[in-house]
Structure 1
Amino acid sequence: MFGKKEELNSVKDRVETIIGKNAEFQGKIISSGVLKIDGTMEGEIESESDIIISEGSKVKAQIKANNAVIAGEYQGNIFLKGKLYIKTSGKVIGDVKVEGIIVEEGAEFNGKCEMIRTENG
């Protein structure tokens, strides 16, 4: 996933849950579908699918998910079965454990990265 621009756009089309730009959320979210955060969130996120943290958003949490796209500010640890994609506007502070990572030029990443292998990898 996230190997091609078309794949990234298809994830946006499958978003099931959105925390709006003017919303603030504290607590734990458990989701089976794609979660998009446009606002502010603090707590824990568990998803069987993907997480999108939009440009302008601020998230302080622990994430367990399939894949993640970060274009906003994120602080916390990330555990993914798949890939972490940090966009140019993204800022990640924390440790990550992922199968793959893509960091665009201009993005910020401050933490430790541990690469994992899936059974098929």
Structure 2
Amino acid sequence: MFRKRRVRRLEEHLDAILGPTASFSGHLECDGSVRLEGLYRGGSITTLGHVIVTPTARVIADIQADTVSVAGAVEGTIRAHRVELLDGGRIWGEVHVDLFLLDDGGHFDGRLFIRGIEQDVRPSEEAAALGKEAAQPPEEG
């Protein structure tokens, strides 16, 4: 689940490409795949295919797709069957997913909801205490 992976080779049809020097605001809907290399701000992306967020991309929008591969930055809510957070990729927000893959070097700050897991997962009192201790600066002396 946490092993290093590469973005799968695209065999499906690309419906849209946002180049590295381009920016876009609004809503995008399509049936195929979307490759983002630039700034996508506001609105949403909805597709039946694959959303690829390259290392040069920054997405400030909600994404709904079959698969989302993140090597750049995403702020928003992602709803997908599969999310791949690749080396150097960053996600801030909520992820609702069946399968979440995290590479070494990927950063996730938010809430993760894995479908099919009905249990509310909370840290034990002992783990919460350890977390508080780790957040405290070391004592001088």
Normalising by the residue count of structure 1, what TM-score does the alignment of the two structures yield? 0.85
> How large is the Cα RMSD of the aligned pairs?
1.7
1:108 deviates by: 0.3
* Residue aligning to 1:99: 98
> 1:32-68: per-residue Cα shift (whole Å, max 9, x none)?
1000000000121000111000001111000111110
1:14 deviates by: 3.4
* Residue aligning to 2:27: 28
SS of residue in 1 equivalent to 2:87:
coil
In structure 2, distance between residues paired with 1:44 and 1:7: 22
* Residue aligning to 1:17: 16
SS of residue in 2 equivalent to 1:101:
strand
Asked which structure has the greater CA Rg, the reply is: 2
1:116 deviates by: 1.2
8 Å CA contact retained: 2:62, 2:76: yes
1:6 deviates by: 8.7
| Aligned ranges 1:79-90 → 2 under 5 Å | 79-80=79-80, 82-90=81-89
* Residue aligning to 1:53: 53
* Residue aligning to 2:130: none
Partner amino acid, structure 2, of 1:58: R
Q: Decide whether aligned partners of structure 1 residues 32 and 109 sit closer, same or farther in structure 2, where only a CA change above 3 A counts.
A: same
Gaps of 5+ in 2: 117-141
Gaps of 5+ in 1: none
Partner amino acid, structure 1, of 2:45: I
Normalising by the residue count of structure 2, what TM-score does the alignment of the two structures yield? 0.74
Q: Percent identity?
A: 23
* Residue aligning to 1:108: 107
